[in-house]
Amino acid sequence: MDNVTHALAGLLIAECAYQLRHREAATDPERDAPASSRRRGRTITAIAAMVGANLPDADLLYSGAGGDPLAYMLHHRGYTHTVVLALVGAMALWAIALVILRRASRSALTGTDRSWLLATLVISTMSHLLLDWTNSYGIHPFWPFDSRWFYGDSVFIVEPWFWVVTIPTLVAASTSRLARGLLVLVLLAGLALAWWVSLVSVEAAAALSVGAVVAVLAVRAMTPPARAFVSLGAWITVTVAMAAGTSVARATVAHAVHARATGAELLDVVVTPLPANPLCSAVITVERTGDRYVVQMARVSAAPALVNPGSCAVTGNGGPTFSASTRPSTRAVQWDREWSASIAELSLLRQTSCTTSAALRFLRVPVWRLEDASTVRIGDARFGGTAPGIVTLSVPRVQPNCPESVPPWTPPRSDVLQLPVTAPDR
């Protein structure tokens, strides 16, 4: 998930916690701090929650983003995106926030205050893992006990509806003119992008714009506690709606594969809804037909009576290795592109190229092509296939020197390679 959305989630969690604590404080004899001190505490807690909601992305400091594609693949959403280290990070942030709050208030915090702050920071930090899980990128939250990747496949990596249902509440709750201005700019920029980018349909952009107006008017009519929890409920509703659309898309594609592709074994269905539109999804299927590894790309409508899948925007074409799909489309599924190769070829690459073997610990939909007699270009169909990108590698077909610091993630395509899920790769 994008970092703006993570930040908004942290701020909303802090606002909900404040409203709950404020209600409890009315009957709490320990709460006798002046209003100015409470405002400072509220601001510091909100900032700490926003930092906590982005804290797992600290792995970008060492994952080689924009530099080393292999390091980025293996270490972004790596160790810091696990429950164990997220909890450690939240505890460290809590300790820092306690020191800052003590100095700002010039008085000792009550035990209840410390507990509320800890709960707020733990929830905000863990929200990062939950939001990242909803994407098709995946996380492996249960390391070191389980090194498998888990994919939610239910929300686009930037979902503007989250901004629409959250920012008006945060603007109303903020006591800082600068913070209110920044939040309004973020919302306006999000709406402008929705009208500009091709992934968001005109109908979805219009719905977002109307939704923003409705959210502003609703916030003005509600009490502070009501608007905080209505925003939280709206966030959950958006997530459920997107998940429902992708669930229908996944079932629709699985049925289409089983009905039309005789002899194909469906191994995985990667589903990503289009931003702001739960009815349109981009789908990648991973299949095995005999000794062939097959990848298909499609667009799916969760409600074909309302939306033709051919009218849904295309999120990518898989790169130069893909060709037009030979699979007949249906009323709900528009098959666009396909690619296939020998499973033995992928197995041989894994055995002879250490970099390829390491990359396969990340690549959920690996695709590759020969660049010359000694070099292979390998990437992931989720992110442009073999076209240039941050998860695309050019590697020697035979490479005895292995990269260092390869994490123990279970290769997502262990099913294709017929690897034991719990055994180390190399």
pLDDT > 90? residue 261: no
CA separation for the pair 67, 76 (Å, rounded): 13
As a whole number of angstroms, the distance between CA 312 and CA 200 comes to: 9
- With H, G, I as helix, E, B as strand and everything else as coil, classify residue 320: coil
Structure-token pair, residue 422 = 């719990």
- Are 121 and 94 a contacting pair, CB within 8 Å? yes
Largest CA-CA distance found in the chain, in angstroms, rounded:
77
Q: Give per-residue pLDDT as tens, 68-94.
A: 888 889 999 999 999 999 999 999 999
- 171 phi, psi to nearest 5 deg: -65, -45
Q: What is the CA radius of gyration of the chain?
A: 24
Closest Cα partner for 277 from 300, 254, 297, 296?
300
Q: What is the pLDDT of residue 90?
A: 97
Of residues 230, 232, 190, the one with CA closest to residue 212 = 190
The single residue listed with the structure tokens 């051919």 is: 310
What pLDDT score does 110 carry? 80
CB atoms within 10 A of CB 23: 11
Above pLDDT 90, what percent of the chain?
Answer: 74
**Mean pLDDT throughout 386-391?**
85
In this predicted structure, the answer to whether residue 3 has a pLDDT above a threshold of 70 is: yes
pTM of the model: 0.92
What pLDDT does residue 223 have? 94
How is residue 242 written in tokens? Answer: 């997107």
- Region label for 313, one of left (φ > 0), alpha (ψ between -120 and 50) or beta (otherwise): beta
